[in-house]
A and B are shown apart, each in its own frame.
Chain A
Amino acid sequence: MIDDIKQKVKLAWDRKLSYLNLQEKFQEELTFAHSGGMWRADRETIGFLSAFENIEQMTVEDIYQVPRQVNPGELLEVCKQKYQFAANNWASEYARLSTVRNSNNV
């Protein structure tokens, strides 16, 4: 009994570690399949595609470095949706974690 209580008191929770894991999950949520390729909806891709938004077809390399024919406007829209969805999830989970005060509430 005493050992159980001691064990519970001793348990630690690392907030920073949880934030890092959350960030890792956010990065993974950014990947998606489209036009036969695999893409990452990161800021660089969104910025790049924005420069070609009005072109109908172009060749872009996906995350496997394979050149794919895409409609940049369409791909940009999906990228923006994915980014916003993942970032919103990240923010709400981050806010939840920031209220945790001890290991019991993790």
Chain B
Amino acid sequence: MPGYQQLETLIMSSGVLLVAFDSVTDQGSTLRYTELAKVCANLVRKNLKLPVGIVSDTKVDGFDEHVIVDKPVADTRHVAIGNVHQSYNWYNDYRRQLFNLTPFKRTLLLDVDYFLQTDQYLKCFEFDAPFQIINRVYDPTRRKSFDKYLTLPNRTIPQCWATAMYWNQNASEYFEYANMIADNYKYYSRVFGFSHKQYRNDMVFSIVSHMMSGYNMPWAMHMTSGDCALYDANDHGLKLQYSNNVIRVNSDVHVLNKNIMSDDNLNYLQNWSNNAN
């Protein structure tokens, strides 16, 4: 554990950044990523005790820092909410520009559907390598749902996950390289065998991490697949239900099920994360 003075210095210049753009599906449902970001921010404050900034196209209450930007170019993405399959504009292409936009000297970027329940990510700030990213995933249901994503599709280089990325002020070349890959996305998609039709940060930063020898965070990101639905949440963590099974997860967990953005679930998670503070 860092000493008090060390901790104070870390907090002054360190923070967590979230990117959230609300979107409306073709069926008229609103995917309120900004509301989910508030849940994520509550959990960050409780577990990491760091300020939280948000990158969005509107001002969102409840954050320490605001970066207001125009909505980026969107890709169409499909999602199942309840039993209804819907498509929506997925505003995904902003991370590679965040090196210049972050208000923090040391930044941890998280997906808003990543629920922190431990202080594990403080280790990134203490280690402080210029660029760190997740490259291993753990499925708490042990169904090995993500084993097919160990490498990029042509099995050449390990796949990393832009769900959690850390960088400091010495990481400019990593982001310059990411921008170069994004600008030539079609070419790189052919080299590494992924589809160019949908822009994926995971692909871009996997290539960056491989080519620039970034450090991988030395733990696996716990992630549950789309069929794991929220059942309840309490002091012992999130309870998830999948095919007649339940599981309680009290580690940091990335929840892919989009039903967490239903009004009921958002209210429930807001209360849970508020009480967590």
- Cα(A4)–Cα(B270), bound, Å: 25
> Judging by beta carbons under 8 Å apart, are A12 and B246 in contact?
yes
> Judging by beta carbons under 8 Å apart, are B241 and A11 in contact?
yes
- Cα(A59)–Cα(B113), bound, Å: 41
> Judging by beta carbons under 8 Å apart, are A11 and B246 in contact?
yes
> Judging by beta carbons under 8 Å apart, are B244 and A10 in contact?
yes
For the complex formed, measure the closest distance between the CB of B214 and the CB atoms of chain A, giving whole angstroms: 11
CB neighbours (8 Å) of B249 from chain A are 21
> Judging by beta carbons under 8 Å apart, are B219 and A28 in contact?
yes
> Judging by beta carbons under 8 Å apart, are A17 and B248 in contact?
no
> Judging by beta carbons under 8 Å apart, are B247 and A17 in contact?
yes
> Judging by beta carbons under 8 Å apart, are A63 and B246 in contact?
no
In A1-49, the 8 Å CB interface with B consists of 7, 10-14, 17-18, 20-21, 24-25, 28-29, 31-33, 37-38, 40
> Judging by beta carbons under 8 Å apart, are B244 and A17 in contact?
no
> Judging by beta carbons under 8 Å apart, are A32 and B247 in contact?
no
For the complex formed, measure the closest distance between the CB of A6 and the CB atoms of chain B, giving whole angstroms: 10
> Judging by beta carbons under 8 Å apart, are B248 and A12 in contact?
no
> Judging by beta carbons under 8 Å apart, are A64 and B220 in contact?
no
> Judging by beta carbons under 8 Å apart, are A28 and B120 in contact?
yes
Q: Give me the interface of A with B, judged by CB distance under 8 Å.
A: 7, 10-14, 17-18, 20-21, 24-25, 28-29, 31-33, 37-38, 40, 63-64, 93, 96, 103, 106
Q: Give me the interface of B with A, judged by CB distance under 8 Å.
A: 118, 120, 123, 126-128, 138, 140-142, 215, 218-220, 236, 239, 241, 244-251
8 additional A-B residue pairs with CB within 8 Å, beyond A21-B140, A25-B250 = A12-B244, A13-B246, A17-B140, A29-B118, A31-B219, A37-B127, A38-B127, A106-B247
